[in-house]
Structure 1
Amino acid sequence: MNVSIFGGGWLGQPLATTLSVKKSKTPHSTKRQNCYHVRVTARSEQSIINLTEHGLNAYPFFLGESLLTHKDCAELLNNDVVIINIPPGRRHLADNPQASQQFVADMCMLITQVSINQSAKLIFISTSAVYSDALEDVTEQSEVAPITESGRAHQAIEAFIQQNLKPSACILRLAGLVGPARHPGKFLAGRQHLSGASQVVNLIHQQDVISAIEKIIIGHVWGETLHLAAQAHPSRQEYYTWAANKLGLPAPNFVSEPEPKLGKRIDARYSLQRLSLTLAYPSPYDML
């Protein structure tokens, strides 16, 4: 099975490594159904070198360039499954509608070229930021109402997929990511006068995301919009104070709240059931 991962960064690189080493569980099978030929892209020369040193087939690619004229178009367009994990960066899009519009246009062009025109299945890595903070219990059926530029951009890309590719795609909305080099103890350590002390935490571990993506491919879970978050949701004040203490860092300081608000709490029970997935890290406290 040919799989191309567009975005070989913090999530894409270990995902590519995991899929690359998979073999069929039945050693005498001639079909090798779970064996993947993986290609992964990155922007910088150093990232390409790093991916290659990890034994991966790495290709340079900049979002916005056309794959139709790319020197490696034959490899990058010949796919059974395409995984797109190219985050825009909240700072890049913040208060910049023009950059947001360009990001959406570039992503839609990429989706058209690699998936729609090539009849390849698509896994699009989206974000739980498409949900409004005004909601409390959020399920996969909850209405989207993003309040950030990044959230609005992802909503627009999701809409494009649903209009043009829904039966052949799976949209996966991720909560805040935790894992190697992303220790939650560093997220808010030492910061002062923070709001939202009572808002609940929605996090998901890198390894659980990788497991979910593999479940989508193996289980042919297409035509779905799913989301992932740990099943436990401590408050921001409680959790980030504890996480900072675990690293011996200064605890964050939260302002008092006259009316505590829980904020959104992502309930991923349907997604976990649909994927037959048991989280390795069901609580944020398990992630350290």
Structure 2
Amino acid sequence: MTLNLVITGYGWLAGYVGEALNDDFNIVGTSRSRDKCHALQAQGIEALEYALGDNTKPLERYLPNATLLLNVPPGRRSTNLDAFTKHMLSLIDSAIRAGVGHIVFISTTSVYGDNTDETLTAQAPTNPQTASAKAHVAIEQYLLSLREQINVSIVRLAGLVGPDRHPARSLSGRQLEAGNKRINLVHVFDIVKALGEIIRCTPLNDTIHLCSLSHPKRGLYYVEAAKAMGIEPPDFTGTDAEPGGKVIDARECWAQLGITPEFADPYRMF
């Protein structure tokens, strides 16, 4: 019997994941948009119109023995995320009552904060500073408290890059500071490999983070990326200063999954 892979928040990342795993699972995707649900159905994906806070009963029928991929972003501009966190925890409770087999939570390396120049492994303590990061930590901690009941995989992602997405585009032409800060990026193709391993194989009951293996200064990297893309480069101050900012060290995590990232070098991402 083909098991369900239920992806809440079927957006940019989910599109790549669903395409990669479509042969192994029955993909069920949720979206707040009815039009998006129709588009997913046209792609052969079982789609459900659902927003956080909605009645979970229609979703629960897909969840027994399923893998639930929680991929709902809280919104970049939100500052009060109490409702978001409450609804996420309620969805988790509903999934467990429905007999879900494995929960994979897409989190973020922003849970470590930005006020550090340290190299951080997945075991480093969190220090969330934004409302979004604090919400992610609260959800992580709740999931970790459930690990004796259910397999839980927490996957913290660095800045996302893909064939159709690169941060250099949003930085084009801007005047920016702290060019000496080091970058932490991860390519969607490497994320998909990791999630495939986590979901297909024995569930990873652990917390990991995913990032490239080198961390150039952003004042150098984004200028080179913009030039390669044929767009106006940003202009950074402070690029000549000693490298600063956090470094997400994901070497142990990639090794744990048995994966050598294809885009270990960010200069291969453009």
Q: C-alpha deviations, 1:188-237, integer Å up to 9, x for none?
A: 11111x12211111001111111101101233143200000011111110
Q: Please provide the CA RMSD for this pair.
A: 1.8
CA contact (8 A) 1:221 1:275 kept: no
**Post-superposition shift, 1:44?**
0.6
Q: Which amino acid aligns with 2:5?
A: V
Partner of 1:191: 174
What does residue range 1-288 of structure 1 map to in structure 2 within 5 Å? 1-21=3-23, 35-68=24-57, 70=58, 73-75=60-62, 77-91=63-77, 93=78, 96-97=79-80, 100-115=81-96, 117-133=98-114, 134-165=116-147, 168-192=151-175, 194-256=176-238, 260-288=242-270
Provide TM-score, normalisation by structure 1. 0.87
Structure 2 distance, partners of 1:183, 1:14, is 16
CA contact (8 A) 2:212 2:265 kept: yes
Equivalent position SS for 1:38:
strand
Equivalent position SS for 1:48:
helix
**Post-superposition shift, 1:53?**
2.3
Question: What 5-or-longer segments of structure 1 have no aligned partner?
Answer: 22-34
Question: What 5-or-longer segments of structure 2 have no aligned partner?
Answer: none
In 2 relative to 1, CA 226–275 (structure 1 residues): closer, same or farther, beyond 3 Å? same
**Post-superposition shift, 1:244?**
1.0
**Post-superposition shift, 1:63?**
1.0
Q: C-alpha deviations, 1:146-204, integer Å up to 9, x for none?
A: 11111111001001101123651010000000013212330311111x12211111001
CA contact (8 A) 2:180 2:241 kept: no
CA contact (8 A) 1:115 1:121 kept: no
Structure 2 distance, partners of 1:175, 1:266, is 8
Structure 2 distance, partners of 1:120, 1:150, is 27
Structure 1 distance, partners of 2:218, 2:254, is 24
Percent identity between the aligned chains? 35
Equivalent position SS for 2:236:
coil
Structure 2 distance, partners of 1:274, 1:51, is 33
**Post-superposition shift, 1:119?**
4.1
Number of residue-to-residue matches in the alignment: 266
CA contact (8 A) 1:66 1:110 kept: no
CA contact (8 A) 1:232 1:283 kept: yes
Equivalent position SS for 1:59:
strand
Q: C-alpha deviations, 1:62-92, integer Å up to 9, x for none?
A: 1111212x3x5423x334211111111221x
